[in-house]
Amino acid sequence: MMQATVRKALRRLEPLPLFSARPQCTFSYDGRDVEWERCVYNAAALRLDGMVYVLYRSLGEDGVSRLGLWWSEDGVTQAGRLDFPVFGPEVGYEMPPAPEARRAEQIREHGMVREVGGTEDPRLIPVGDQLYMFYTAYGDIGRLTVARIPIREFLRGVRECRSYEDWQPLWERMGMVYESEMDKDGYLLPVQVRGKWILFHRFHPDIQVVELDELRFPIQDPGKILLGPRPGMWDEEKIGGGAPPMRTELGWVHIYHGVGSRNGRRTYVLGSFVTPLDDPFRVIRRSTLPIMVPEEKCELEGWVPDVVFTCGVVPVGKDSRELLSAEDDILVYYGGADEVMCVAIGKVGEIAGI
């Protein structure tokens, strides 16, 4: 049974939600107009050159997930939002072999099309002059997958690209992280540690961490279990990585999600853990209590009720690549009930549990 107490390290910001789906928003794809925003949630976030970019998952009326783009100077007030996705399923592993059969099955089971396939839950990591995007490709099963885009091309795309088709040549797909396993919730440290790249990912129900000599995929080594669920606690069923960690004076500060029972309902909540900057295989602090639980209507009611889920954070007033102190504020972008985008603010030290 999940503990009822919450360590309130995050404060929700208005408006709540931050933004919602635009049901009549369409883009042209494969000769037809697609209503690509039924729900918007689970967004990557990055601050570059003073602008916050939020790359959000959008579930369309066709049951396909694609990625849309929203941006803001202060992280809350919208400065721009594209009317078309910037990334979507284009290769075999990003859609099921028989999407119509999956749609028909969902109509039989649920009376409606729910989630058929596509590109889900992105995390963005700046590495040198590249942005690496780890995302779930939902084909026959969900698999952790990687694409990248030069930072200069990403910024140029925001300025100049006028369609989904304009964006596609800018992305380089690097393939699945593990070809034969169901894997999700992956991200990379933005710098090497002792000459190795460090990848965090989730084989159900645990979080694993693995060293890589180079950023080439697929890989075979699953790494070691870093964290697992805790019986009788708020993360007793399963856990998974959330936003890529913040590089701080306290260490790498990670926000993760845990699933357990709260008030008799299956619930996704947020917690945190900390690993040393020079030893990401060692956890030096982990939340005893969750730092955020579903409380607001838009978190308790929606496409999937009782969910708060993050894939992206940005510092306030600093670039995402800068070292943060315990007193720095960060913005945490999270999906409410798998239907709307929301944002909360908190201090690094309070999130870490200092």
Find the helix or strand (DSSP H, E) in which 308 lies: strand 308-315
Q: Is residue 76 predicted with pLDDT exceeding 70?
A: yes
Q: Is residue 226 predicted with pLDDT exceeding 50?
A: yes
pTM of the model: 0.97
Within 8 A by CB and 6+ apart from 330, the residues are 246, 313, 314, 315, 316, 324, 345, 346, 347, 348, 351
Length of the chain counted residue by residue: 354
Q: Is residue 144 predicted with pLDDT exceeding 60?
A: yes
The pLDDT assigned to 264 comes to 87
Q: Say if CB 344 and CB 45 are below 8 A apart.
A: no
Residue 90's Cβ-side half-sphere holds a number of Cα atoms within 13 Å equal to 17
In this predicted model, what pLDDT tens digit does every residue of 150-195 receive, in sequence order? 999 999 999 999 999 999 999 999 999 999 788 999 999 999 999 9
Rounded to whole angstroms, what are the CA distances from 310 to 17, 56, 194, 241?
14, 11, 29, 9
| Mean pLDDT on 320-325 | 96
| Mean pLDDT on 300-329 | 97
Within 8 A by CB and 6+ apart from 336, the residues are 17, 41, 294, 296, 298, 299, 302, 307, 308, 342
The pLDDT assigned to 101 comes to 96
Question: In angstroms, rounded to a whole number, what is the distance separating the alpha carbons of residues 304 and 220?
Answer: 33
| SS3 state at 2 | coil
In this predicted model, what pLDDT tens digit does every residue of 105-116 receive, in sequence order? 999 999 999 999
In this predicted model, what pLDDT tens digit does every residue of 81-138 receive, in sequence order? 999 999 999 999 999 999 999 999 999 999 999 999 999 999 999 999 999 999 999 9
What is the largest distance, in Å, between two alpha-carbon atoms of the chain?
Answer: 55
Q: Is residue 333 predicted with pLDDT exceeding 70?
A: yes
The pLDDT assigned to 180 comes to 78
Within 8 A by CB and 6+ apart from 264, the residues are none
Mean pLDDT of the chain: 96
Domains of the chain: 11-352 (2.115.10.20)
Question: In angstroms, rounded to a whole number, what is the distance separating the alpha carbons of residues 204 and 134?
Answer: 17
Q: Is residue 3 predicted with pLDDT exceeding 90?
A: no
Q: Confidence band (pLDDT; 50, 70, 90) for 2?
A: very low
In this predicted model, what pLDDT tens digit does every residue of 36-49 receive, in sequence order? 999 999 999 999 99
Give the whole-number percent of the chain exceeding pLDDT 70: 99
Nearest to 124 by CA among 177, 186, 81: 186
Q: What is the CA radius of gyration of the chain?
A: 19
Q: Confidence band (pLDDT; 50, 70, 90) for 6?
A: confident
CA angle 202, 190, 281 (to 5 degrees): 50
| Mean pLDDT on 286-315 | 97
SS (H, E, C) 12-78: ECCCCCCECCCCCCEEEECCEEEECCCEEEEEEEEEECCEEEEEEEEECCCCEEEEEEEEECCCCCE
Residue 65's Cβ-side half-sphere holds a number of Cα atoms within 13 Å equal to 28
